[in-house]
Structure 1
Amino acid sequence: MASGKINKTAVDRLAPADRVQLFWDAELKGFGVKVTPKGRKVYVVDYRMPGKRGSNRYTIGPHGSPWTPDTARAEAKKRLLEISQGVDPNAEKRRRRSETIDYAFSAYAKQFAERYLKSNWPGSYDRAVSTLRRHAIPYFGKRDIRDISKADCAAFIDSLWEMEATARKAREVVGKLFGWAEDRGDIERSPMERVPAPKPGIGRERVLTDQELAKVWSACEAMKSHPYAPLVQFLIFSGQRRGEVGGMLWDEIDWDRKLWEVPAGRTKSRRGNVVPLTQPMVTLLGNLPRLGPLVFSITGENELGNHSKLKARLDGLVEESSGQILDHWTLHDLRRTVATGLQRLGIGSDMIELIQGRTRKLGAGIRYQRYDYLDEKREATNRWTDHVISVFSLRP
């Protein structure tokens, strides 16, 4: 803990550490700034109710409009005056919000996804919502988020110990949910705050062979009455992210120029991506019914859900048609498979990064280097498409 006069200069200088840091004002007792390991700065008031034991913490709000050092200080003075008169600000906040908010974890998670994840996590929104729906909501159910403890959160993460990547994602998403709840004043402190994140395991290296890709493609042909099958086939052709392909809109396709323009708000890199469409990709998309704005959808309005069930159905068709069970694979492995295949065809790593829309680490130069390499991307994508056609014995 450190102390000093809380002003703009002091707050700007506060740096994150590996655990939550608190900086207390030297003039107004109890008024402080909390700095999270990710650099979030939140104004708080620590207090004790008259005649009661134990300390409490009231969250004023995150640094930034409307909370500046001056406005936060004025709010802290107001709350400290109420406290001296026996009014608990946290109790009042809970009372006011309880009249309009459903604190059941299942309901709160849906609100969190709609009001926070959709606008702040566009690139990983699908996976985050899937993590909540498949793991967090079944575990916590309708428990009041205000009653969930650190031990409860640790037990939840422990329950996922066999799925290291899922456990890390669950720690991140549920931790953000509780952090959001704390910022909004719905809970006093995030119970996930001190729960350690699972250590990263060995990264996945699964790359499907050409023979395995052919079996997956054949199974998709048997399942092509469902939009999940052409989605998987498009992933095999393009090597793009499942979430970005799953959210593809008809309006994003330039049929004349044979391009799919992914807007920045829907890409993980936040820079957007322009994907050249080969003729087989155009044919695949053109065969899909236009039911609404979404391309890969049953209704045209909603993205596909239940990916685990659909994947299991596809695996069953692979076994049925080939008599073999493929070693465990995921749709994300197709992205790695395409990248590896492009590399085998002599495509350079930088070009593969561009094709797949990954962030280029070019430093400040990226602000000035505006050439889009579209012709080179199209040539490389055509080479991969020709390879796919030859492997699957498809007609061009």
Structure 2
Amino acid sequence: MKSNLTDVSVRALKPPSKGQLTVWDKNSPLGVRISQGGSKTFILMIGRGKRRTLGRFGIVPLSKACEEARRIAAEKTLGITAPTVKTGVLFDAATIAFVKDHYKSAKPRTKHEAHRLLTNKFPLLDTKLLSEITDEDVSSDLKKLAGTPSEQLHAFRVLRVFFKWCMRLPHRYLRHRPLEGYPAPGKDKKGKRILSDDELRKVWHACEGMFGDMVRLLILWGCRNGEIGRLMPTWEESGVMIIPGEFTKNGRAHAIPILPLARVILAARLMRVTIS
């Protein structure tokens, strides 16, 4: 059945007593399917026995439905196929969820470093679906970091943990890990050289200001720079500096006796903080 479809004529169409009724427009490839219940849906015949639904009348305007029907019919005639819609989880979206979940109990610095490596060091993976990532993609990005071996190794390790996380329930983003069997690009290199007494003496005398105080305390106490950088006057108890476990690498409190030379440096440091 064919008719000149207009908003008025479509609205006036009566539902069939049973089944469905289709009315085709005389001026376009568009049709309207009316169900027994009275719902009216725009459709398009795209092949023998093949129909595409374009939307329900009242939600999709007739003019838009006609325009879409003509576009699809034209593309079919010209042999233009619609692009394949890819589904899945993108690498950049998964990394955000990974850092939030996997590092929820980690120190802020550790969490920040993992996020930095995943978001800055793998440009080829950034806009890909996880299911599309190959060993070649990973290898290509890692080779670009060959000039900084330590950074390359850290990036590889974080990415390996990320892919393991992607295979876990309940998300289960992957069923095959791209880095399975992939060798590490290098090994940790531990420094063996230590400063001589003469070199330490030169560093000591070159220290100035607040950062100089930190370096001198590092020399005296052998702590990590993050521990010294966070020193608080309230951590001192009866002549002993107690660094809380939440700020140490092993998670245990670290007690350091405050000897006269360290006391002078701490006093100078406190005075600088007060003045600033």
TM-score, normalised relative to structure 2: 0.51
Higher strand share: 2
Q: Deviations for 1:282-338, whole angstroms, at most 9, x for unmatched residues?
A: 3333433599xxx9xx9xxxxxxxxxxxxxxxxxxxxxxxxxxxxxxxxxxxxxxxx
Who is 1:117 aligned against? 103
1:185 aligns with 2:171: yes
Give the number of equivalent residue pairs: 183
Who is 1:143 aligned against? 126
Segments of structure 1 that go 5 or more residues without pairing to the other structure are 1-90, 299-396
Who is 1:210 aligned against? 197
Does the CA contact (< 8 Å) of 1:164 and 1:201 recur in 2? no
Who is 1:152 aligned against? 137
Matched AA of 2:269: L
Cα RMSD of the aligned pairs, angstroms, is: 3.8
257, 273, 286: which is aligned to 2:254? 273
Who is 1:241 aligned against? 224
SS in 2 for 1:119: coil
Inter-CA distance 186–192: structure 2 relative to 1 (3 Å threshold): same
Taking the aligned partners of 2:95 and 2:195, their CA distance within structure 1 comes to 36
Taking the aligned partners of 2:165 and 2:261, their CA distance within structure 1 comes to 45
Q: CA deviation at 1:254?
A: 1.8
Q: CA deviation at 1:205?
A: 0.6
Taking the aligned partners of 2:99 and 2:155, their CA distance within structure 1 comes to 14
Taking the aligned partners of 1:213 and 1:258, their CA distance within structure 2 comes to 25
Higher relative contact order (CA 8 A, sep 6+): 1
Does the CA contact (< 8 Å) of 1:235 and 1:242 recur in 2? yes
Q: CA deviation at 1:248?
A: 4.2
Taking the aligned partners of 1:111 and 1:287, their CA distance within structure 2 comes to 45
Q: CA deviation at 1:232?
A: 2.5
Matched AA of 2:259: T
Q: CA deviation at 1:207?
A: 0.6
SS in 2 for 1:288: helix
Inter-CA distance 194–245: structure 2 relative to 1 (3 Å threshold): farther
Alignment of 1:1-396 (within 5 A): 105=92, 112-113=98-99, 115-117=101-103, 119-120=105-106, 122=107, 126=109, 129-130=112-113, 132-133=115-116, 135-141=117-123, 143-144=126-127, 146-147=129-130, 148-183=133-168, 185=171, 187-188=173-174, 189-200=176-187, 203-221=190-208, 224=209, 227-251=210-234, 253-263=235-245, 265-288=246-269
Inter-CA distance 289–277: structure 2 relative to 1 (3 Å threshold): closer
Larger Rg: 2
Matched AA of 1:138: N
Taking the aligned partners of 2:137 and 2:212, their CA distance within structure 1 comes to 39
Inter-CA distance 173–277: structure 2 relative to 1 (3 Å threshold): farther
Taking the aligned partners of 1:136 and 1:255, their CA distance within structure 2 comes to 42
SS in 1 for 2:105: helix
Taking the aligned partners of 1:234 and 1:254, their CA distance within structure 2 comes to 15
Indicate the percent of aligned positions where both proteins have the same amino acid: 23
Inter-CA distance 290–207: structure 2 relative to 1 (3 Å threshold): same
Taking the aligned partners of 2:243 and 2:179, their CA distance within structure 1 comes to 38
SS in 2 for 1:275: strand
Taking the aligned partners of 1:177 and 1:258, their CA distance within structure 2 comes to 41
Q: Deviations for 1:257-300, whole angstroms, at most 9, x for unmatched residues?
A: 3222331x443334432222323333333433599xxx9xx9xx
Taking the aligned partners of 1:118 and 1:286, their CA distance within structure 2 comes to 37
Does the CA contact (< 8 Å) of 2:242 and 2:253 recur in 1? no
Q: CA deviation at 1:136?
A: 4.4
Taking the aligned partners of 2:161 and 2:138, their CA distance within structure 1 comes to 13
Higher helix share: 1
Q: CA deviation at 1:196?
A: 1.5
